[in-house]
Amino acid sequence: MANPQRPLSPHLQVYRWQITMVMSIANRATGIVLTAGAFALVWWLLAAAGLAPYEPLAAVSGSILGLVVLFGFTACLVYHLLNGIRHLVWDGGFFMDIPGVYATGWLVWGLTVVCTLGLWVAIWMTGALA
């Protein structure tokens, strides 16, 4: 007879969170966000071509909430790109040991923050957000 106190299979409460687990989950989540963002990009392209109303899009994207969403989309795009480069490096056979996997994981997170903030500072300095 099975012990009712024991879980039937390993689950999240059994495992300690590790950067490899977080990176995998974040990669899937950012992929979903980028898919949704692709639809917004199509809406923007249609509006720029004059095939859809532009004023509602400009009002939403220029609001505080719209800028927060755009910042989040940018962070997802940068993270997904850098993590994809990380996987290409792995395909070359580099950094496949545990210290290398952890180091590249932290590097991707750090570069995501730096690159996202750098992009937004550059955009801010051009006056495009004013």
Q: Which domain holds residue 61?
A: 19-123
Say if residues 7 and 14 touch (Cβ distance below 8 Å): yes
| Residue 45 falls inside a structural domain | yes
What's the pLDDT at 3?
66
What's the pLDDT at 89?
97
| Residue 10 falls inside a structural domain | no
Blockwise average pLDDT, block size 10, the chain, 130 residues = 65 78 96 95 91 88 92 97 97 96 97 98 86
| Residue 119 falls inside a structural domain | yes
Q: In Å, how far are 10, 13, 93, 106 from 31, measured between CA atoms?
A: 26, 25, 24, 19
Q: What are phi and psi of 16, to 5 degrees?
A: -85, 135
CATH number for the domain spanning 105: value is: 1.20.1300.10
What's the pLDDT at 124?
92
| Residue 84 falls inside a structural domain | yes
Q: How far apart are CA 97 and CA 114, in angstroms?
A: 26
Question: How many distinct structural domains can be found in the chain?
Answer: 1
Does 11 carry a binding-site annotation? no
Tell me the Ramachandran region of residue 127: left when phi exceeds 0, alpha when psi lies from -120 to 50, beta otherwise: left
What's the pLDDT at 61?
86
What's the pLDDT at 91?
96
Task: For residue 9, give the DSSP letter.
Answer: S
End-to-end CA distance of the chain: 68
